Amino acid sequence: MSTSSSTSQDKKAEEEQIQGSTPPYNRHILICTGVPSKDWVKKPELSDPYLNLLSTEVRGQEVKVNFTNIASSDLSQTAKDALLPTKGPRHDLVLFPDNIKFKGIRSEAFRDLSRYLAQHPVGTLRPTLEKLISETGSADEESSSVRMELVPGSGEVVTIELVQEPSAVLVCTHGSRDCRCGDRGGEFCRILKDMVQATGLTNSIKIYEVSHIGGHKWAPNTIMYPSGDWHGNLSELDSVDAQHILFDSLASAGVAAGVRERGAADPVMIDKWRGRIGLSREEQQKLYQAVLEKQKQKSIEAATRTQSEPQSLFSAPGEDLYQEDGLKEQRTAASEEAKKPEPKHPVTAGVDTPRVKIIFETFQKVQTEIDAKVGERILDIVKDKDPSRSGVYQALECTCGGQLECATCHVYIESPFYARLPGVTDAEEDMLEYAVGRKESSRLGCQIKIQPEMEGMVVKLPQY
């Protein structure tokens, strides 16, 4: 193979890797359309002069601009979340990761805004405003806001407000740009909103529907602030993804236990992590590799740990990070829901059932060794919420519970073990047609029962 073709293949592989796919940017502004996301046109920047102008003015500051749709229908702004839309002469903007609203700004002041942001880099703006609000007589302390000119002497007065909800999740629901965003993103957004309501977190976390944020093939995509972590390939069928997103968003804002400082913590859901605000592609990939290394190390440690020291997806032994924010109940409910379609498997209940060692390997080559029971299916292992099996649980959805209706239990089993498996039935063959990344070694995990001759079998997991 020639060097040039290797280089182009390497480049293609790099472009297709989800980790490192977040474009470099430093800040993010949301501007409101005043119309529901389902009615957004394909390219709003071509039809909305304010979005176009704002994007142009702040481009030099590496600021990303998107539409959102939380608008006050009568422009009275009585609703707490309402934003003045681009229909009128004045607009409201939300700025991340600073978590600040610019209220009633005219398009004539967009250039002032750009200059103001340049003078107040990320990390300095909010503390500056907090100080101003506490010290100046012009501050409206009740709403944590202050009225001021962004450029002294400009005559353009705006209200700057500190957003009270400490964290936010932005979900791309831009269906006219990509139907996957509209359908899957819309559904994922609904799950997040329901979860925030059900857990009483409305004062802690804000969910925004936003226009296209890039990366069709990874839809639905989310961005959480203040960490600025991007995730893609989220599943609307499994609220576990939503719990991870909400929890990490809260943790990065210091709301939940296990407080993380912005930019200092490792990303979660690393297989679906796209990248982070403020980092180049190379820096994102470096961080990804570092997290993989840590996971490998943890995997080795877990193999030597006794069962009396369980590991959780969310917490260190003895900690319960969901305790304080109400997500624990939601997580339990989701687990119960996931169990519903799963048929009972009598063999797995026996305490004296013979065991064999099965090794699960993610596409990043992270291995988890499982003490599997003879007779249980790979699906049973995945659906078992035993924390010692959590590395596997995270990787396979098994959505239909073994009814041969989804192919989300797709795994690869290579020689010599493939030949020891029972033959592929017509029904399994039909469903394997839908498996993403099907190979010669593909099988459906719900159709494979563990047998003694499988001792040491490696079950490889596909990327998605």
Q: From the list 321, 446, 457, 461, which residue makes contact with ligand FES (rule: CB under 6 A)?
A: 446
| CB of 310 or CB of 401, closer to ligand FES | 401
As measured in angstroms, the least distance from the Cβ of 445 to ligand FES is 6
- Is residue 395 at the binding interface for ligand FES, with CB under 6 A as the rule? no
Residue 14 or 336 having the CB closest to ligand FES: 336
Element (H, E) at 92: strand 90-96
Rg over alpha carbons for the chain, rounded to the nearest Å, is 25
* Subset of 396-435 contacting ligand FES (CB under 6 A): 398-400, 402, 404-409, 431
Regarding 444 and contact with ligand FES (CB under 6 A), the answer is: yes
Query: Structure tokens of 136?
Result: 């100046």
Q: Which residue is nearest to ligand FES (CB)?
A: 446
Q: Which residues of 91-123 are buried (b: 16+ CB within 10 A; e: fewer)?
A: bbbbbbbbbbbbbbbeeebbbbbbbbbeebebe
Residue 63 is given by DSSP the state: E
Contact 276, 252 (CB under 8 A): no
Instruction: Scan residues 360-389 and list those touching ligand FES (CB under 6 A).
Output: 379
Our CB check for ligand FES shows the closer of 128 and 425 to be: 425
Judge contact between 133 and 145, C-beta under 8 A. Answer: yes
163 near ligand FES, judged by CB under 6 A: no
Residue 268 lies near ligand FES (rule: CB under 6 A): no
In sign, the C-alpha dihedral spanning 163, 164, 166, 171 is negative
User: Residues 20, 288: contact at Cβ < 8 Å?
Assistant: yes
Shortest reach from residue 434's CB to ligand FES, in Å: 9
Residue 65 near ligand FES by CB under 6 A: no
**Cβ distance to ligand FES smaller for residue 85 or 402:** 402
392 binds ligand FES (CB under 6 A): no
Query: Any idea which residue has 């593909």 for tokens?
Result: 442
270 interacts with ligand FES by CB under 6 A: no
Residue 271: both structure tokens together:
């297989």
- Which is it for strands 90-96 and 27-32: parallel, antiparallel or unpaired? antiparallel
Q: Is residue 462 part of the contact set for ligand FES (CB under 6 A)?
A: no
Beta-bridge partners for 146: 139, 160
Q: Is the dihedral of CA 107, 112, 116, 117 positive or negative?
A: positive
Judged by beta carbon, residue 58 or residue 411, the one nearer ligand FES is: 411
Instruction: Give whichever of 405 and 455 is closer to ligand FES, judged by the CB atom.
Output: 405
Residues that bind ligand FES (CB under 6 A): 379, 398-400, 402, 404-409, 431, 444, 446
